Amino acid sequence: MSVYLLRRTGAALLTIWLALTLAFWALRIVPGDAMAARLAQAGASNAQIAERRAALGLDRPTLIQYVQTLTGLLRGDLGNSIVSGRPVSEMIGEQLGATAMLAAGALVIAVLAGVAFGVFAVTSCFRWVRNGIAILVALILSAPVYWVGTLAIYLFSVWLRWLPSTGSGDLRHLLLPWLALGLSLSGSIARVTAGSLNEARHADFVRTARAKGLHERQIVFQHMLRAGIGPILSVIALQTGFLLGGAVVTEALFVRQGIGQVLLSAIQDKDFPVVQGIVVLSAVFYSAINTLVDVLIGVLDPRVRVTD
């Protein structure tokens, strides 16, 4: 187990480094930066812009800036925003709670809906139910989150007038974003769940369980789902890694506060440190979730054990 955890930790650190490196160099391909754009709009001269960029170290060679970014990350320092001058970690921390609440609720909906769709698509005795779920899952997989969100706004806000379409107020303002993002992520979970159940339904242990007279619900949830828990947990972890990207679109669509809005503003302003900080956060989150799920699969599935 210790060797496995060391390998996973090394892979996680490599993922974080690659994410930061790609973000750093990709941002530098685009000409200009936040400081030059803001000062130019304010009417500053080229000399004033150059002086301010020198004060922030933006005139240094790109390779030196890259090394400074890496050493800062090793110290836990994500740098300061070029636009506001505030620490990036402070800016992210202020909005982390709102995005975490959105992501957690959407993930719960995605898992519940995805597993339910997958189970009914395989075990329902009505063909029209199985066919209807198959069509619904195909539509979910082909529909981007902004389309699902727009449809949810029209249905529940414009037509039925049940829920507000924008804002970051009480729980009612979260229901539509949860629904839009959660349903967008549920399609892959449903498809993998159905595939795992289809594979397990003709296995010897299922026939044995039926011969013992066990109820079909008990066979599905205690035997078939457990046998297919590995792929299901893996796709849940993968979809969890996509939550931040979906949250960016969802927060913009529903005009909600959160890391997504911070990221969009930083990209528009070419505020490099803020974008890099959010990319690092996403990489850390993705690596941690996948490591946790890999260990959990080894615990829940007796056929998979993590050994030295």
pLDDT of residue 113: 92
Q: Is the dihedral of CA 107, 112, 118, 121 positive or negative?
A: negative
241 three-state secondary structure = helix
Phi-psi region for residue 143, left (φ > 0), alpha (ψ -120 to 50) or beta? beta
Closest by Cα among 264, 250, 92, 262 to 174: 250
CA distances from residue 75 to 79, 251, 276 in whole angstroms, order as listed? 10, 31, 15
Residue 59 CB coordination number (10 Å)? 12
| Structural domains in the chain, sorted by start | 2-74 (no CATH), 88-300 (1.10.3720.10)
**Which helix (H) or strand (E) element contains residue 168?**
none
Task: Please state the separation of Cα 137 from the chain's center in Å.
Answer: 20
pLDDT of residue 37: 61
What is the pTM (predicted TM-score) of this model?
0.78
Q: For 16-73, how does the pLDDT look when each residue is reduced to its tens digit (9 = 90+)?
A: 888 888 888 887 776 666 666 666 665 566 676 677 667 666 677 778 888 888 888 8
Closest by Cα among 108, 115, 110, 293 to 192: 115
Closest by Cα among 298, 287, 302, 207 to 15: 287
Percentage of the chain lying above the pLDDT 70 cut: 82
Q: For 151-191, how does the pLDDT look when each residue is reduced to its tens digit (9 = 90+)?
A: 888 888 888 878 777 766 677 788 888 988 888 888 889 99
132: tokens are 């209807």
Residue 92 CB coordination number (10 Å)? 19
Q: For 105-124, how does the pLDDT look when each residue is reduced to its tens digit (9 = 90+)?
A: 999 999 999 988 988 888 77
pLDDT of residue 119: 86
pLDDT of residue 256: 82
Residue 158 CB coordination number (10 Å)? 9
